[in-house]
Amino acid sequence: MNSTTSTANTNENDLDQKLAEKPAIILVHGAFSNSHVWGHVAGKLRAAGHRVVALDLPGRPGAPMAPDQVSLGLYRDVVVAALGEVDGPVILVGHSFAGIVIAAAAEQVPEKIKTLVFVAAYLPQDGDSLLSLAQQDPDAKIGPTLTIDKDKGIAVVDYASRAELFANDGPAPLKEKLPDLILDEPAGPLVTPVHVSAARFGQVDKIYVHTSMDQVVSPALQARMVERIPVRRQVTLQTGHLPFLTDIDGMVGAIANAQN
């Protein structure tokens, strides 16, 4: 064996060892988006030695499906399937609406999860839905920008409102691009209650990443949800609703340190 081959094998073994030492991370996007929002964060987490999977939930370009076929149960099952493909307990991250999705997955397979990370996310009690929690959030500004197209079964955010609503803390170039990146969202899962129990979801380790300038899930609602559902640790980022785009290093740090 020549020295080049030996060095290559050593590097591969080192990488395998790094991946084995650190928990895998599964990233779940929120409503009106897809897995691409995690791109920068996922890249940095991989460079730090984590195996990272960024999921596309059904009903968007990465996983096309008619809106009337999409359900919260289907979202849960996609996450549970991804958990089943990864060895060992996983750090499962959910942004915004995906807080409800990862809670549903944790109820199904709590043993597969090392830590749940809620990022500016809805943190549900049994029977909560995005709709029911959003109705408790008078400080949020998303409501007046939303239209429900019942014929198509989708929720649509007003185009002109998107940049300031989601990335009020972002730089001008991001605000210019963002309106075209926001997707229409299947409406059914947004109004579907999630069912969780103290014996299963309640026993899974949790941390919460607050976003102090958020206009979609207000800081006040974030604080109230954490009062109702205790978490082991809280982190606050000085951002709007999309910290993975406007504070990439802060988001990476919060996820990478979730096990500590």
Q: Per-residue pLDDT for 1 more than 80? A: no
Assign 5 a pLDDT band (cuts: 50, 70, 90).
very low
pLDDT in tens, 97-125: 999 999 999 999 999 999 999 999 999 99
Q: Per-residue pLDDT for 247 more than 80? A: yes
| Whole-angstrom distance, CA of residue 189 vs CA of residue 205 | 25
Q: Per-residue pLDDT for 3 more than 90? A: no
- Mean pLDDT along residues 8-19: 50
Q: Per-residue pLDDT for 201 more than 80? A: yes
pLDDT in tens, 207-228: 999 999 999 999 999 999 999 9
Assign 12 a pLDDT band (cuts: 50, 70, 90).
low
Assign 4 a pLDDT band (cuts: 50, 70, 90).
very low
pLDDT in tens, 135-175: 999 999 999 999 999 999 999 999 999 999 999 999 999 99
- Mean pLDDT along residues 53-79: 96
DSSP 48-92: TT--EEEEPPSSBTTB---GGG--HHHHHHHHHHHHHTSSS-EEE
- Mean pLDDT along residues 1-25: 58
Residue 212 dihedral angles phi and psi, to the nearest 5° = -75, -15
Cα distance from N-terminal residue to C-terminal residue, the chain:
41
Q: Per-residue pLDDT for 40 more than 60? A: yes
Residue 15 is predicted with a pLDDT of 47
Domains with residue ranges and CATH for the chain: 3-256 (3.40.50.1820)
The percent of residues above 90 in pLDDT, for the chain, comes to 89
| Whole-angstrom distance, CA of residue 42 vs CA of residue 61 | 19
Residue 21 is predicted with a pLDDT of 73
pTM of the predicted model as reported, rounded to 2 decimal places: 0.92
Torsion sign over Cα 19, 24, 30, 32? positive
Assign 8 a pLDDT band (cuts: 50, 70, 90).
very low
Secondary structure class of 165 (helix, strand, coil): helix
Residue 94 is predicted with a pLDDT of 98
- Mean pLDDT along residues 248-259: 96
